[in-house]
Chains A and B, each alone.
Chain A
Amino acid sequence: MARTRIYVPRETAAVSMGADEVALEVARLAKKNSIDVELIRNGSWGASWLEPLLEVEVDGTRIAYGNVEASDVEGLFRADLVNGGEHPRRLGPTTEIDYLISQDRWTFWRCGLVNPLSLDDFLAHNGFKALLQAFADGQESVLTAVADSGLRGRGGAGFPTGIKWRTVADAPGEQKYIACNADEGDSGTFSDRLLMEGDPLGLIESMTIAGFAVGASKGYIYLRSEYPLAHSVLTRAIDTARGAGWLGGNIQDSGFDFDIELHLGAGSYVCGEETAMLESLEGKKGIVRYKPPLPALEGLFGKPTIVNNVVSLASVPNIIKLGAERYAGMGVNRSKGTLAFQLAGNIKRGGMVEKAFGVTLRELIEEYGGGTASGRPVKAVQVGGPLGAYIPTQQLDVVMDYEAFMEIGAMIGHGGIVVFDDTANMAELARFAMEFCAIESCGKCTPCRIGSTRGAEVIDKLIAGEKRDENYDLLVDLCDTMEGASLCAMGGMTPYPVRSVLKYFAEDFASSAEG
């Protein structure tokens, strides 16, 4: 009998739900029953709610089984798993799972599909083709494609990537750097992690393209320490790429040199801010820098530096291969292309949904997410991490578009969508926003450092029902100061969630006092 391929993801969410134990059990039982199995630890397709998602390849088609536990494996084999047999866990062919096939997979198309640590598998799936095309077409062509695609920074700020790359390319200086921001600290976000764990070689290719386009010979990945599995995957992928001549000197005889150093963060949220990240990469405290100078002109070690989020970078290879027009053809208004939306918190079908901009928040939460996990009504949705506004249900029809979100005082940020049901106490969440800012503030500017502590105190008084009108005005005033006078988004945007609670959920302050 031919060898059977079985896929069990080696990705944090899957592993957190028991994928390693499932993989061990598959290996053990295959051996015991003399079934010839090739066990592949792929990345995740992103349907976290189905993890561990086991797949078996039958005549070239992958058949999926969802929420598999180690104790299910024996029964699966008995149900003729190797031929895709019937079983309560069976979902059918992976390519027919609605949640996945209705997405617009541009950046994440290899995630789940390939073995992340196999160079052969990567090459068999268009790996490094965009890089070779970039070498053939030249720097100018890459810079033009990225600009024409309309790609904007996916880390949260939404700055046009093409302008950033052009600035670095035009900046004088021999030494330039690519700094990949993989300090994905926003609650409700995990798309960077999915990509690094599922397609690390794709990120390496993307960074190399960026280096080639702007004339940088060295790249850094700044990875948060809360992602140990991503660290292990990236470390091996970088070694693999280097060993095969895809990193290092004279890459594939192109005459272009590029190498990547992987750095770990150390638990500081503010190091996701680009200048704090650069400080940390230089081995210092992650304290925010004044801007200007822009990192594009004076960045890492004072040299011109591209600071890009993982997903921004990883969107580039297909822009080169498939064309900027195709990317720009997706999306709405000035929000072009796709974003990896992440459904999190109290949601039935949590996971990553890569969709063109223009989808509504309601479609994501109801059609993809299936509503709350608890089955209770949605009360609020925080989009864009801890600095994002709490959106009330009457605004769920907002279109996913950077500018449309700004109009309602919210932000898309890195695309994290955290759903709360009607048991959530919004006053406590407003307090948490201030408390989190107090814990994570780098301390350089006063509005953020002191304002956050004072903010938590004032909210405590409001919750206690103390001098309500006076403290309300004080809190609004404090939000104005933090927003207007903080050095970076940490202090400058902490008022967003606070204000949204004051505006849409003020009754929670009253009920807290009564309760």
Chain B
Amino acid sequence: MATIDKQTTSEIVAEHNARPELLVQILQTIIGRFGWLPEETIRQLADELNLSRADVHGVVQYYHDFRTEEPGRHIIKICQAEACQAMGSNALTEYAKKTLAMSFHDTENDITLEPVYCLGNCACAPAVMVDGKTIGRVDEQRFNALLENLRGAD
């Protein structure tokens, strides 16, 4: 993923009319485009929205989506919630961690692995989200195919 620059941050703030009550939406826009929030961006947002740095930090730390470390080019989220557990997501998670030699929240070889609590695909469990796309009925074989696809795309 790229890193947001100062000018783009200002542009995103302007798109939201510098409304401080849109802080969550502004942060989500940045995450959607760049994947993470550098410290300088948090400071700049506080200045431009006329909020205290503590306020912005508090919001950033509160929400799971707001990463403060640069993720890999690909983000794999494995659902951990009950419906997926009923279909073997715990074993799938272990398999994914072993195959990638990673733990949750790690980034290696341009892949970030994260847990997610429900993708709303509970009738086609277990579910995995790869780069924003939800995939259903993921078993080990399908997981391997997903990884192949990611590697092929690079």
In the complex the two chains form, is B86's CB within 8 Å of A424's CB? Answer: yes
Contact flag A226-B118 (CB < 8 Å), given A344-B125, A424-B86: yes
Contact code string A330-354 (vs B, CB < 8 Å = 1, else 0): 0000000000001111110011100
- B72 interface hit (Cβ, 8 Å): no
Q: Within 8 Å CB of A228, what residues of B?
A: 132-133
Question: Which A residue's beta carbon lies closest to that of B64?
Answer: A267
The stretch of B5-13, B77-85, B92-100, B105-113 in contact with A is: B77-85
In Å, the complex CA distance between A297 and B62 comes to 27
In the complex the two chains form, is B83's CB within 8 Å of A351's CB? Answer: no
In the complex the two chains form, is A13's CB within 8 Å of B86's CB? Answer: no
The stretch of A120-128, A181-189, A450-458 in contact with B is: A181-189
Number of A-B contacts (CB under 8 A): 154
Contact flag A186-B118 (CB < 8 Å), given A285-B62, A373-B87: yes
Interface residues of B in 14-67 (CB under 8 A from A): 19-25, 27-28, 31, 55, 58-59, 62-66
Contact flag A440-B86 (CB < 8 Å), given A268-B63, A283-B25: no
Interface residues of A in 347-365 (CB under 8 A from B): 347, 350-352
In Å, the complex CA distance between A184 and B19 comes to 26
- A16 interface hit (Cβ, 8 Å): yes
Q: Within 8 Å CB of A280, what residues of B?
A: 24
In the complex the two chains form, is A343's CB within 8 Å of B116's CB? Answer: no
Give the distance to chain B from A231, nearest Cβ to Cβ, in Å. Answer: 10
| Selected contact of A418 from candidates B20, B59, B86, CB within 8 Å | B86
Q: Within 8 Å CB of B24, what residues of A?
A: 263-266, 280, 283-284
In the complex the two chains form, is B82's CB within 8 Å of A350's CB? Answer: no
In Å, the complex CA distance between A13 and B83 comes to 14
Interface centre among B65, B118, B120, B125 (most CB of A within 10 A): B120
| Selected contact of B123 from candidates A49, A267, A429, CB within 8 Å | A49
Contacts A/B (CB < 8 Å), 18 sampled: A12-B134, A16-B124, A16-B127, A16-B133, A16-B134, A188-B82, A190-B120, A226-B120, A229-B134, A264-B24, A280-B24, A283-B24, A344-B125, A345-B83, A345-B85, A386-B82, A419-B86, A429-B85
Q: Within 8 Å CB of B87, what residues of A?
A: 345-346, 373
In the complex the two chains form, is A269's CB within 8 Å of B62's CB? Answer: no
In Å, the complex CA distance between A68 and B15 comes to 42
In Å, the complex CA distance between A188 and B117 comes to 11
In the complex the two chains form, is A13's CB within 8 Å of B124's CB? Answer: yes
| Selected contact of B117 from candidates A13, A420, A436, CB within 8 Å | A436
Question: Which A residue's beta carbon lies closest to that of B31?
Answer: A266
- B121 interface hit (Cβ, 8 Å): yes
Give the distance to chain B from A427, nearest Cβ to Cβ, in Å. Answer: 13
Given contacts A268-B64, A346-B86, 13 further A-B contacts (CB under 8 A): A16-B121, A16-B134, A193-B120, A228-B132, A266-B27, A267-B64, A283-B19, A283-B21, A284-B23, A345-B85, A416-B122, A421-B86, A436-B117
| Selected contact of B81 from candidates A16, A187, A224, A421, CB within 8 Å | A187
In the complex the two chains form, is B117's CB within 8 Å of A48's CB? Answer: no
> Which residues does B use to contact A, with CB under 8 Å?
19-25, 27-28, 31, 55, 58-59, 62-66, 81-87, 116-125, 127, 129, 132-137
Contact flag A283-B23 (CB < 8 Å), given A190-B123, A269-B117: yes
In the complex the two chains form, is A344's CB within 8 Å of B122's CB? Answer: yes
- A282 interface hit (Cβ, 8 Å): yes
Q: Indicate the size class of the contact surface on chain A.
A: 35 or more
Interface residues of A in 1-56 (CB under 8 A from B): 12-13, 15-17, 48-49, 51
Q: Within 8 Å CB of A373, what residues of B?
A: 87
Give the distance to chain B from A340, nearest Cβ to Cβ, in Å. Answer: 12
- A405 interface hit (Cβ, 8 Å): no
Q: Within 8 Å CB of B118, what residues of A?
A: 185-187, 189, 226
Question: Which B residue's beta carbon lies closest to that of A227?
Answer: B120
Contact code string A293-308 (vs B, CB < 8 Å = 1, else 0): 0000000010000000
Question: Which B residue's beta carbon lies closest to that of A301?
Answer: B21
- A504 interface hit (Cβ, 8 Å): no
- A225 interface hit (Cβ, 8 Å): yes
Q: Within 8 Å CB of A229, what residues of B?
A: 134
In Å, the complex CA distance between A421 and B86 comes to 7
Q: Within 8 Å CB of B65, what residues of A?
A: 225, 266-267
Question: Which B residue's beta carbon lies closest to that of A344?
Answer: B122
In Å, the complex CA distance between A190 and B132 comes to 17
Q: Within 8 Å CB of B119, what residues of A?
A: 12, 226
In the complex the two chains form, is B82's CB within 8 Å of A432's CB? Answer: yes
Contact flag A418-B134 (CB < 8 Å), given A16-B127, A266-B27, A266-B63: no
